[in-house]
């Protein structure tokens, strides 16, 4: 069997992960038994038996400290929006390799690391080193906190000279270790996500930018005004299932639809207006990208780390292409258009497996040259209002709740108590 230098390096780091926190805690406890903190008065024997006892006790205590530290480990709260995008793609890669029963959001980093090891990825050694680094600072953090608790308790029984100085030093060391642990933990996550995507590259579509305005209605609103617009053009739709990832934030949408994971990142947001239209139309500019994934997500409940939720949708679409300054109807709404235009969309929504009619959403999405998208969007909204009945349709949109899908998703867990945003 061949060994690389990196293998020995990882083993040495692992020794420090256990022995050093245990040894520091053991030494602090030994000093406290002398009923004061003054190393000059402590006599430590250097015979072989004492060293064996010291190493054995440090090893045992180090494992207990590691166990305690692992109970307070948080894997997600240091991730940025860009990290969450990588995590969504990496999660689907791992999920495509494992049975659903084995995978959870909490453990998928470990499964990802094992997949990279099985694939003999050169990144695996770096991932192990980053894992050892983060666990070292995680355990050292716990050791300093335990020493502080031990010092405070001992001070109540036997007053310790310079107690406040010692306490401040311990708390500073604890906080410094905490910051370093969070930094290393994030780097560990990033490296796993990036290495998985590099080792098992998904099928990627082009990045598309668009500008969108969206409104949500309850079933009590007169949505028939808009239904008439779509019915007049003969559009029909069947129910389809889509899966959205909760806890991704209001600026990021992650969904699975028809064998693809789609990422939707908000680039900007502003209010726009035009005469004889709803005042202050809220619109967002989005960047969209899709990755191939044949595995259907499994809905679940995990309020802390997020979960997939199934939403049933019956969507009708009308597409217009900008030609010679006017919007012209394109018969096939799903056909790709190499130019500027907009899509009108009316969708009936249900939160799956609850039997709750979540209401309706109407959207106008402009595509094409970024500098033209806002004007195309306003023209699309005006066109829809004219065809649906201007004054009544304006009133309908002003009564509706204007927000993008990621914000609506943040309300989905509460939809068991209400049918649509109020």
Where does 162-259 have alpha helices with state H?
A: 163-199, 224-232
Give the pLDDT of residue 227. 80
Residue 419 falls inside a structural domain: no
Residue 422 falls inside a structural domain: no
Cα 209 from Cα 285, distance rounded (Å): 7
Residue 421 falls inside a structural domain: no
Q: Are residues 146 and 212 in the same domain?
A: no
User: pLDDT digit string (tens) for 221-273?
Assistant: 667 778 887 887 767 777 888 888 876 567 888 888 877 788 888 889 988 88
3-state DSSP call for residue 209? strand
Pick the last residue of a domain from 131, 166, 199.
Answer: 199
Give the pLDDT of residue 365. 93
Six-digit token string for 201: 């590259």
Residues with Cβ within 8 Å of 82's Cβ and at least 6 positions away in sequence, in order, are none
Q: Are residues 124 and 152 in the same domain?
A: yes
Give the pLDDT of residue 397. 84
Measured in whole angstroms, how far is the alpha carbon of residue 289 from the centre of its chain? 16
User: pLDDT digit string (tens) for 144-200?
Assistant: 999 898 888 888 877 777 788 888 998 999 999 999 998 888 888 888 888 888 888
Q: Are residues 275 and 241 in the same domain?
A: yes
Give residue 311's region: left, alpha or beta (phi > 0; psi -120 to 50).
beta
Residue 234 falls inside a structural domain: yes
Residue 21 falls inside a structural domain: yes
Residue 415 has pLDDT above 50, yes or no: no
β-sheet bridge partners, residue 291: 204, 261
Q: Are residues 271 and 410 in the same domain?
A: yes
Give the pLDDT of residue 102. 66
Can you give the CATH number for the domain in which 265 is found?
Answer: 2.40.320
204, 217 contact by CB (below 8 A): no
Q: Are residues 159 and 269 in the same domain?
A: no
111, 98 contact by CB (below 8 A): yes
242, 313 contact by CB (below 8 A): yes
Q: Are residues 144 and 230 in the same domain?
A: no
User: pLDDT digit string (tens) for 316-345?
Assistant: 888 898 887 888 888 766 655 667 889 999
Cα 350 from Cα 353, distance rounded (Å): 9
Residue 315 has pLDDT above 70, yes or no: yes
Pick the last residue of a domain from 153, 168, 199.
Answer: 199
Cα 24 from Cα 46, distance rounded (Å): 17
Radius of gyration for the alpha carbons in the chain, expressed in angstroms and rounded: 29
Give the pLDDT of residue 256. 82
Number of domains in the chain: 2
Using pLDDT thresholds of 50, 70 and 90, give the confidence band for residue 12.
low
Cα 289 from Cα 414, distance rounded (Å): 29
22, 61 contact by CB (below 8 A): yes
Q: Are residues 176 and 265 in the same domain?
A: no
Q: Are residues 302 and 403 in the same domain?
A: yes
Give the pLDDT of residue 203. 59
Q: Are residues 156 and 272 in the same domain?
A: no
User: pLDDT digit string (tens) for 24-82?
Assistant: 888 888 777 665 545 454 455 566 777 777 788 888 888 888 888 888 776 556 777 77
Pick the last residue of a domain from 134, 165, 199.
Answer: 199
Which domain does 267 fall in, by range?
A: 208-414
291, 260 contact by CB (below 8 A): yes
Q: Are residues 287 and 225 in the same domain?
A: yes
Q: What is the pTM of this model?
A: 0.54
Residue 420 falls inside a structural domain: no
Query: 217 to each of 133, 271, 363, how far by Cα in Å?
Result: 51, 20, 11
Give the pLDDT of residue 213. 92
Cα 133 from Cα 150, distance rounded (Å): 26
Residue 13 falls inside a structural domain: yes
């Amino acid at each position: 069997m061949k060994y690389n230098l990196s293998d020995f390096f990882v083993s040495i780091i692992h020794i420090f992960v256990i022995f050093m926190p245990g040894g520091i805690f053991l030494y602090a406890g030994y000093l406290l038994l002398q009923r004061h903190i003054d190393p000059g008065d402590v006599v430590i024997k250097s015979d072989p038996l004492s060293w064996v006892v010291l190493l054995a006790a440090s090893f045992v205590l180090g494992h207990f400290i590691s166990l305690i530290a692992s109970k307070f480990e948080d894997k997600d709260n240091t991730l940025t929006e860009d990290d969450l995008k990588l995590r969504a793609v990496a999660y689907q890669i791992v999920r495509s390799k494992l049975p659903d029963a084995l995978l959870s959001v909490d453990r998928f980093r470990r499964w990802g690391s094992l997949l990279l090891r099985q694939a003999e990825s050169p990144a695996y050694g770096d991932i192990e080193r980053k894992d050892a680094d983060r666990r070292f600072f995680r355990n050292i953090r716990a050791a300093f906190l335990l020493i502080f608790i031990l010092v405070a308790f001992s001070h109540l029984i036997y007053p310790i000279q310079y107690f406040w100085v010692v306490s401040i030093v311990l708390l500073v060391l604890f906080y410094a270790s905490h910051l370093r642990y969070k930094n290393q933990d994030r780097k560990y996550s990033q490296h796993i996500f990036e290495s998985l995507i590099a080792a098992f590259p998904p099928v990627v579509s082009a990045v598309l930018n668009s500008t969108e305005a969206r409104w949500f209605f309850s079933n009590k609103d007169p949505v028939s005004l808009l239904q008439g617009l779509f019915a007049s053009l003969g559009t029909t739709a069947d129910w389809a299932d889509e899966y959205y990832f909760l806890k991704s934030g209001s600026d990021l949408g992650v969904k699975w639809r028809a064998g693809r994971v789609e990422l939707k990142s908000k680039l900007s947001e502003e209010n726009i207006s035009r005469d004889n239209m709803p005042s202050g139309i809220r619109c967002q500019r989005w960047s969209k990208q899709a990755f191939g994934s044949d595995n259907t997500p499994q809905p679940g409940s995990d309020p802390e780390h997020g979960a997939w939720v199934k939403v049933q949708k019956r969507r009708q679409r009308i597409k217009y292409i900008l030609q010679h300054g006017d919007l012209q109807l394109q018969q096939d709404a799903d056909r790709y258009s190499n130019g500027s235009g907009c899509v009108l969309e009316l969708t009936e929504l249900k939160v799956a497996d609850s039997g709750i009619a979540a209401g309706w959403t109407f959207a106008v999405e402009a595509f094409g040259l970024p500098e033209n998208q806002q004007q195309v969007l306003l023209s699309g909204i005006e066109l829809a209002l004219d065809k649906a009945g201007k004054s009544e349709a304006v009133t309908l949109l002003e009564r509706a709740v204007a927000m993008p899908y990621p914000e609506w998703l943040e309300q989905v867990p509460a939809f068991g108590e209400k049918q649509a945003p109020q």
